[in-house]
Amino acid sequence: MNKKNLSLDRMRTFVRVAESGKFSKAAKELGIAQPSVTRHIAELEEELHSPLITRTTRSLTLTSEGKMFYDKCVEILNLVENLTQTVGKNSSTEGKIKVSCTVSLGVLYFCKIINKFQSMNPNTNIELSLTDERIDLVKDDVDIAIRLGPLSDSSLKLKVLGYSERLFVSSPSYLNDLGYSPKINDLAKLDCVLMKNIINSEKLSVTNRGNDEVIDIKLSGNLKVDNGLAVKQLVADGRGIAPVHNWLVNDYLLSNSLLEIVKDYSLPAVQLSLLYVPQKAELLRVRALIDFISEECLKIPGISK
């Protein structure tokens, strides 16, 4: 057996091809030429006497042997990296971590959390991507993703960080123009800024804080946006009302730029989760960041266990 053809470099190439789904993307991420990627895969298949990837003009898929080899490659590469960090002179958190977070939460809080972690672990190289889109952690080579709402991807590990409190808010100027303090039954006829990327964002169930009665309400409005920060600013500018996360508007509530309305009713809290690929959590730096985020997120206004 030619051990060179089973080198760690070739295993890394194969893993990135398998995860990215493209030879060209793997080459770019690894910083090598695409012909080198093709050669690495060919040498692996030759040495193993088995095809690892089925290629068409539009896509590639792993063969059954390729899937088995992929799992073993990930296990070996993670083990080697952990051994290097544990036995070697480098600190346990040295290396790259890719993090994805929803936009509003990332801008307002997770940038600070990441900054604090790096101040304590200066050798850690973190790439933070802010997006509200549902990403594929394996395909996009992301180590950790922070997401709001229910999640069901069984191929990933999910850690519930807490639950996010929500409330109804409006601006003083909008309430002044109304001339009265709205009750729960008034909300349906008021202008509401809605989220267009949340299914049925106009339909909500609320609970009476006094007697636990649950009622369904339907909001209406002719303006929908896809970003929480935009909702916050539009409502503060007098555009109407909105159901929002406490952490999103906490600073505006403290400065009275926004006011909570219908305080006698509560909205269901939303699950805040951390997603990660199981194999990635074996890396010491990833595990350290997961633990750090788990503690720090409970300091965010309105997030509780």
More confidently predicted of 138 and 229: 229
What's the confidence (pLDDT) of residue 199? 78
What would the mean pLDDT of 68-82 be, rounded to a whole number?
85
User: Which tens digit of pLDDT belongs to each residue from 166-193?
Assistant: 999 999 999 999 999 999 999 999 999 9
Helix (H) or strand (E) holding 106: none
What's the confidence (pLDDT) of residue 83? 72
For domain 3-87, give the fold.
Arc Repressor Mutant, subunit A (1.10.10)
What's the confidence (pLDDT) of residue 4? 57
All residues at 6 or more sequence positions from 126 whose CB lies less than 8 Å from its CB, including other chains:
96, 97, 98, 99, 114, 117, 118, 289
What's the confidence (pLDDT) of residue 108? 97
What's the confidence (pLDDT) of residue 1? 44
> Is the pLDDT at 153 greater than 80, yes or no?
no
Taking domain 166-268, whether its CATH number is 3.40.190.290 is answered by yes
Whose tokens are 């555009």? That residue is: 239
Q: What is the CATH number of domain 95-164+271-304?
A: 3.40.190.10
The residues of the chain that CATH labels 1.10.10.10 are 3-87
The residues of the chain that CATH labels 3.40.190.10 are 95-164+271-304
The residues of the chain that CATH labels 3.40.190.290 are 166-268
d(CA 41, CA 55): 12
d(CA 253, CA 251): 5
